[in-house]
Structure 1
Amino acid sequence: MFPLLRPALFSLDAEQAHGLTIDGLASWARLGTPFAAPPPDPILHSKVAGLHFASPLGLAAGVDKNGDAIDGWFGLGFGSVEIGTLTPLPQPGNPKPRIFRLVEDRAIINRLGFNNGGIDAALPRAKAARRKGVLGINVGANKDAVDRVADYTHGVSRAAPIADYVTINISSPNTPGLRDLQHGTALAELLAACDAARGTTPLFLKIAPDLEPAATDDIARAATANHIDALIVSNTTISRPETLTSRHATETGGLSGAPLASLARARLADVRQATGGAIPIISVGGIDSAAEAYARIRAGASLVQLYSGLVYEGPGLARRINTGLATLLKCDGFTTLADAIGTA
C-alpha cells in the first residue's frame, strides 16, 4: 500500500510525516504486529560482538530516537534496532524546519540536533520491549554539556544494563564541536572512559564519513586499544555532491540517502584497510536494496543499517532486503553470511 500512501505522506512536512509514521508503527505493535515479516532465512544468521543476529539488516539510530516503536520495527523484519541518539537531559534540538526531503535525489538533509526526551525517559520503553532481535542504544552529549566525556559515560553506564550493545555517537554534524571528539587525545580519553563504564556490554563507535585517511587510521588504533567491539561507518555527510538537483540541496545539516552511497562505500574500504578486518564494521549510508546491502557485505561489512531508504521505499523494504540477500548468497554458492564478508 505504500505507493498509494506516499503522495499523502510527502504532502506533509517531513518531520510531521516522520512522527505519524512512528505513532502508526507503535500502534501496530500494540496489536501484536499482525502480518509481521516472516523470520529471516537461516542463511542470514550471524554473530557479531558475541551477539546473534537473525538478519544483518539493522535500523539505524535517528529513526526512532526515543524508542517509541521498537517492537514495530522488529515486526518489519529488522534483525537489529538502534534507538537514540539519547542524551543525559532532554533537549528540543534545533529550530524547525530541520528535515528536508530531496525527492529528486532520493536523499534527506537533517539538522535535528539530538532532539530527544532524555535517556531516563527512553530506557523503560527499551526494557519493556519484546525484542525479537538485537537492541542497540545510541548515546550522545547534550549540546550545552560542560563535560562531554561525562555525558557519554553517563549514557553508557545507564544504557548498558538494558541494551544488547551501546553505541557512542561522535559523528553527528548537528551538534557544534561534537566531531572534534573523533581525533587525538580527546578520542582516546573518551573511549577509555566509556570502556570503563560499559561493564560487559558490547560497545560500538559511530564515525563520520567526512574523514581523511590519517584520521581513519587514528580511529582504528584508538578503537583497538580501547576494546571497541564494532565500528559503525558512517553517519550523514556535510559534503554536497555536484549531482544534487533538489531545491533543498543547499540546506545545512547532514545529507543521507542515495547520494551518500559512494562516500559510504569508500569509508568502508578505508576502515576495513585500517583495521585489517580485526574489528567488525557496520556499513550505513545509501543502502536501499538487497543488491547494495550485499555489495557492502562482500566489501567487508559484517552488518548493514538503513534509514533514508525507508522514506522512499516504504516499510516493506526490510522484508525485501532479507529475501533478496538470501537469494544472492545462495546464487553465489555461500552457505552462511559470514562466508561472504570481505570476499569482494
Structure 2
Amino acid sequence: MTTTSDAKAGADRQKMKVGIWLNNVIERFKTWTPKNCQKLFSEKELLELCYRARESFWKSSVRLEIKAPVKICGDIHGQYEDLLALLELNGWPPETKYLFLGDYVDRGPFSVEVISLLFAYQLLYPDKVFLLRGNHESRPVNMQYGFFLECRKRFSTTLYDAYQMAFYCMPLCAVISDKIICMHGGISEDLVDLKQLDKVERPCDIPDIGVIADLTWADPDTSVQMYGESNRGAGRFFGPEAVKKFLAMHNLELVVRAHQVVYDGYQFFADRQLVTIFSAPFYCGTMDNAAAVMTVDEELVCSFTVMRPNLKKIKDKEKENQEKKETEQDKEKKVMVIKVLVLTVLVDLNQS
C-alpha cells in the first residue's frame, strides 16, 4: 500500500532527477560552439524540453508578477553567441534574475540553441528566469523567417511543432513590483483592466487585432498622439499621449518593451515613460547596433548595460558578403561567356 509520504518521496526523487538533467543540459549549452552544435543534443532531449516548458507556461499566469531586482532583455533572434556573451557580462542565473521579452527565434542561425537554453533555465529556476512571448513565437511568422527551415534541416518538423505548442502557452506580459509593465510589442487601447489577461485561454495563437496582438506587435510612433493603424499588418501604433493615459489608468510608472532595433540597444519614448530594449547586437549581420540589458534595482532605479558590436566581426562579415557577391558575379560572367561560346558555335554551324 502506497502512503502519502511514499508518494511525496517519489515526487521529490523525480524532481531531483529532472533537476540534475537540466543542469547537465545547461552545462552542455555553455560548451557550445558552431562546430559541435549538431552533437550536443538529441531530438528526444529537445522534445522533452519543449513538453516540460509547455506544461510550465500553461500552469503560470498570462500576466506575471515579478519582484525587483531583475534584468530585462529584448530580442535575441537566434544570435546564440551573443546571448552567451550577454549572460557572461550581466551574470548567470540563478544569481541574476532575468525577464526576457520575446523574439528568441528567426533571423539568426541558432534559434534552436537560444530557445532551448532559455527553456532549460526557466524550468530549472522558475522564480529566476521569466520568458514572455514575442510576435515571432507564432507559427505564421516563424514559418517564414527561418525557424521552420532550421528545425527541418537540423532535426525535424516534429520538433518544430513541439516548440510551437510551447509558444502557444507563454505569458504575454509582466509587471515588476506593481509599477513597471513589460511586454514584447506595446500597450493596447483595449486593455482597460490588467485582470482581463487572466481570462486569456491558452494554448492560443496571436491574432491580427486586439489585446494579444497589441502586446506582441504594437509600436510607439510620434506621428500619432493616441492610437493609429500600423503598417505591420498586426497590432497598432500608439503615441506619447496614449502611453501617459495607459500608465495613469493602471497606476504604473514605466512601460518596457522590445520589438524594434534601436541603435544604442535602448531608446526612450514619451518623456521617458517608455523604453525599448533590443538585445541582439550587429543584428542580422548587417546593422551596427548595440545590445542592451536593463537593470531594475530594489528601489526601481533603472540602468543599462550596453554591449557594442565587435568591429572585427562586422568587417569580417562585410568581407564575406563582398566575396560572396563577387563569386556570384563571377558565376554570372562565366554563364554569359558560355552563352556567347554556344552562340558562336551555332553561328559557325549555320554558316557551314
State if a TM-score over 0.5 links the two structures: no
Question: If each structure's helix is expressed as a fraction of its own residues, which one has the higher value?
Answer: 2
TM-score, scaled to structure 2: 0.34
TM-score, scaled to structure 1: 0.34
